Amino acid sequence: EMSEMSERSKQNVAHGLAWSFYVGYLKIVLPRVKKSMEEFSRANPNLPACRKTWKLHILVPLSCDIYDDLEKADSNIQYVTELTETILARAGIKKRVYKHSLYAITDEENQLWHCAVEYATPLQTLYAMSQDECAAFSREERLEQAKLFYRTLEEILRGSKECADTYRLIAYEEPEEAEPHFLSREIVWHLRQEHLEEISVLEQSHPPSPSTALDSAELNLQISVSDLPQPLRTDGF
């Protein structure tokens, strides 16, 4: 009876998608991300290296609207190269390839930030279900499922030791009025936070004088816990 109620209310959709995404993909690729970024950094010593950004940045748009080409989503996001491939035998597929794309993100000061970034692909399933009459999945239900997917995935990854410090979830709700560089600003905001985190770690290793110490409030990452998530920051962008 409980199973039937869950099926009717679709409560199990996002939960299952989050676990599938983790077990079938993230748990495989995340432990290898830092090594790939390190190899890229050694091959490109002219590019600034911020180790705190050596992780996979996973975009979670609550609208579930996903671009296959990030460069079309925002012209300030430009493809650079592919990182080192991971090749495994998986579910009967010989030499299955897992890889990530590296992008250069231009901020409002024309500074370049490099990072591996991609969408959470299961959101495509939620979007497709909302467009398919057979799924009987409304737009409101899609939004609720997107929130549940994010919360579930966040909880799973938080408890995963092998994935610790290898990812950053970037959940956001797009503005009602189109902003051509909204996405690049979202990503850059998170990259800046990671850069500050790295500075904080370095300063803890070499304690600075009180006058140069970073205020802890500057490093505080605020995540909305309201029923209607806002972009994961409060800087007014």
* pLDDT band, very low/low/confident/very high, at 215 (cuts 50, 70, 90): very low
Of residues 137 and 146, the one with the higher pLDDT is 146
Give tens-digit pLDDT for 163-211.
999 999 999 999 888 899 999 999 999 999 998 887 776 666 655 444 3
Residues of the chain with pLDDT > 70, as a percent, come to 78
- Indicate the pTM of the whole model: 0.80
**Longest C-alpha distance within the chain, in Å?**
64
Which pair of structure tokens corresponds to residue 30? 């995340």
* pLDDT at residue 141, as a whole number: 87
Give tens-digit pLDDT for 98-124.
999 999 999 999 999 999 999 999 999
CB within 8 Å of 169: residues ≥ 6 apart: 58, 60, 150, 153, 154, 157
Is residue 28's pLDDT more than 90?
Answer: yes
Q: What is the Cα–Cα distance from 54 to 117, expressed in whole angstroms?
A: 11
* pLDDT at residue 139, as a whole number: 84
Compute the mean pLDDT over every residue in the chain, rounded to the nearest whole number: 82
In one letter, which amino acid is 97?
V
Is residue 137's pLDDT more than 80?
Answer: no
Quote the DSSP letter at residue 84: P
Q: Which residue segments constitute the domains of the chain, with CATH numbers given?
A: 14-204 (3.40.50.12100)
